[in-house]
Structure 1
Amino acid sequence: MNAVMTIVSRALLATAACLGFVAPSTAADKVTFLTSWFAQAEHGGFYQAKATGLYEKAGLDVTIKMGGPQVNGSQLLLAGETDFLMGYDIQVLKGREKGLPLVTVASSFQFDLQGIMAHDDVADLAALKGKPILISGSSRTTFWPWLRAKYGYTDDQIHAYTFNLQPFFADPTVSQQAYLSSEPFQAQQQGAKAKFFLFADGGYPPYGSAIVTTEKMLAGNPDLVARFVKASLEGWRDYLKNPEPANALIKVDNPKMTDAQIAYAIDKLKQTKALDGGDAATSGIGIMTAARWKQTYDFLVAANLLDPKTEWQKAFTDRFVKDLKIGF
């Protein structure tokens, strides 16, 4: 009897499948994530989550798109061309000032990786007062007002930075804006002696490489947001332990990226505890606090870069990170 029932059951299942009665397996939710620049180690956690199946395990089919100098990420996010964006606190606060529904849901790094690269005879950032400093146009409305207020810099010190290091190499009096793991590495490769001063060490408040989405996404699919945030932060946890899976994908997207550059960047992320330092040491990777957001808001208002009426509390939410406590 059991054998007969088994045969009948199989026959019925086969018939049902042919007629389309068997429920299909649940398809993964398609998600697009836009980074802030060409693929690099500073995006490693996201690539790790994709390479090692963390996104797949979370029921997500994630496409990572590279940003770049001509990419307007906020515009693409609001237009629905991407679901999540690698953003920046100041960018989001300025968006909220204009009524744009941008919301930060997690932060990769506990501080911004921006700083100044100077020649090795410079003692500290205060010593650069009155000296020429190369910065990009966009930096005039981000870290420059902070430097001006803290160290007494003046606008006549500004010279244009065109992302070419030759002026720095040629003039021992020149300093320039730099990213923790980029320009200092290039200087090292050229045999130039240089020092890097991280703005965060002086109290510059923004977070780094945050995950930004929209109010519409939060309202319509909070479960998807939660799964994407958790898998991404798990990717960051795993990336510094074994970066090879992510690195392989990074080099596919950005063939110009070298193993030496990646290794240098990972070393700097570890040295500075960008991922697991600060509040993340006790509250887990990705954590954000209202106190830190208020510091960035206060800085921008004091520098006349943000309308005081801007509802800064709506620029972020910690609901997706406060209870995760993802650590090493």
Structure 2
Amino acid sequence: MRNLKVAGLALALLLPAASCFAGESVNLILNWTPTADHSPFYYAKAQGWYEKAGIDLTIEVGKGSGVSSLKVGSGGSPFGIADLATMLVARSKGADVVALMSIYANTGQTFYWLKSYGVDGAKTFPGHRIGNPPGDASRVMWPAFAKAAGIAPDSVNFVNVGPTAKVAALKSHAVDIISDFYNEHDTKVIEFGSDLGYVNWKDIGLNPYGNSLIVNGAYLAKNPKLAEDFVRISQKAFAACVADVAPCLKALVDQVSGLDKESQERQWERIKFLMTDEFTTSKALGWIDPGRMQKDYELVQTYLGMEKPFAVETAFSTKLLDPSIKMDASKVKK
């Protein structure tokens, strides 16, 4: 009987301790299926960094920035990854969402072509066929690209091509030009070699923010410390992966089936370029510049539309970032 009482007392003493270490359940919905740009989240989770901060993290596979923006904005997930232009549109429609950290400080939007098809830069696009999906951001934002490139918006023909069929469509000459993200650059280099030509939108003066870490506004107001911990751990993880991506990609492929390690390594080299600008290297890794955000807002308002206009400064915050963690530009190759 005495032994039972002792055992019961021991169990009673252990239970409170166990509950103290039970982390807050937190969901992060990705913008799409996991690839190299998501590896820092998997790495930080595998290292136990979120757990040590009292965060029990679940990483949810996404179905596009529109879906992640709406799920976070409705409170269905506290955190998410989304293209910032898409997030701004969602906010104008009532989504309670705030950007906390840029991942792609530079736009990934890129046009690719084969030189043998008679294309030699954006000035020669007129009269050619561009292949991409109907809702593709590069097609929606085409008038902005055309204006920056100095060509007429109606001077090209768009052809409906699915996301996974772009390279095949270019190879078969079903189209002359395709749009794709710069992190997939090496897939085209390997396929087409020296015949490949391309222009990143940044090269012609269009550089809206890309994928970013977003949070539900009400959740942020109720959980400021947890949100700060989440942001700073994620920042730390991205910096660690910039320094050495091998353990990060291992954490990713250990959890996500069907990924080719070499392909992901090549992607990461491009992602480091997308992460790097004058602010992420001087202010903080993940920094969001107010001036650039205002330009992005105006770009979105012009070409995508704002259902209910809002002050752009309410849509982002850099207060949770750790200014001591900066992007290491010496690790970047274009």
Aligned in 2, Cα 1:173/1:276: closer, same or farther, shift over 3 Å? closer
More helix by share: 2
- Report the more deviating stretch, 117-126 or 32-41: 117-126
Q: 1:256 aligns with which of 254, 258, 267?
A: 258
Q: Equivalent residue for 1:205?
A: 207
With over 3 angstroms needed to count, the CA separation of the structure-2 counterparts of 1:21 and 1:67, relative to structure 1, is closer
- Residues 58 and 130 (structure 1 numbering): CA distance in 2 closer, same or farther, change over 3 Å? farther
Report how far residue 294 of structure 1 moved.
0.3
Determine if the alignment matches structure 1 residue 130 to structure 2 residue 127: yes
Counterpart residue number, 2:331: none
**Cα distance in 1 for residues equivalent to 2:199 and 2:121:** 7
Provide the rounded CA distance (Å) in 2 between the counterparts of 1:304 and 1:173: 25
Shift of 1:16: 4.7
Structure 1 distance, partners of 2:197, 2:75, is 41
The offset of 1:240, in angstroms, is 2.2
Shift of 1:14: 7.5
Q: If the length of structure 2 is used for normalisation, what is the TM-score?
A: 0.84
Give the match for residue 153 of structure 2: 154
Contact 1:104 1:316 in 2 (8 A): yes
Query: What do residues 221-270 of structure 1 show as CA deviations (whole Å, max 9, x unaligned)?
Result: 01111011111111110112222232123224442221221121122234
AA of the residue aligned to 2:259: M
Cα displacement string for residues 114-143 of structure 1 (whole angstroms, at most 9, x for unaligned residues): 211111354322322332111222225753
Going from structure 1 to structure 2, the CA distance change for 1:210 and 1:47 (only over 3 Å counts) comes to: same
For structure 2, the 5+ residue unaligned runs are: 329-334
- Tell me the number of residue pairs that the alignment of Structure 1 and Structure 2 aligns: 314
Partner of 2:224: 222
Question: Amino acid of the residue matched to residue 146 of structure 1?
Answer: A
In structure 2, what is the equivalent of residue 145 of structure 1?
143
Measure, in 2, the Cα distance between the counterparts of 1:15 and 1:79: 44
Mean Cα displacement is larger for which, 57-66 or 87-96? 57-66
Distance 1:302 1:79 in 2: 25
Instruction: Tell me the distance in 2 between the aligned counterparts of 1:322 and 1:175.
Output: 41
Counterpart of 1:117 in 2: which secondary structure?
Answer: strand
- Kept in 2, the 8 Å contact 1:34–1:64? The answer is yes
Look up the equivalent residue of 1:127 and give its one-letter code.
Answer: T
Give the alignment's Cα RMSD to 1 decimal.
2.7
* Residue pairs, 1:4-19, within 5 angstroms: 16-19=9-12
The code of the aligned residue for 2:226 comes to: L
1:161 is displaced (CA, Å) by 2.2
The aligned residue for residue 281 of structure 1 is 281
Provide TM-score, normalisation by structure 1: 0.85
Question: Deviation string for 1:92-122 (max 9, x for gaps)?
Answer: 2112211221111111121121211111354
Distance 1:314 1:50 in 2: 30
Q: Assess, with a 3 A threshold, how the Cα gap between structure 1 residues 42 and 150 changes in structure 2: closer, same or farther.
A: same
What corresponds to 1:179 in structure 2?
181
Q: Where do 4+ consecutive residues of structure 1 move more than 4 Å?
A: 12-16
Q: Is the 8 A contact 1:39 1:251 kept in 2?
A: no
* TM-aligned CA distance change 1:58 to 1:186, over 3 Å: same
TM superposition shift of 1:304: 6.1
Q: Contact 1:77–1:84 at 8 Å: present in 2 too?
A: yes
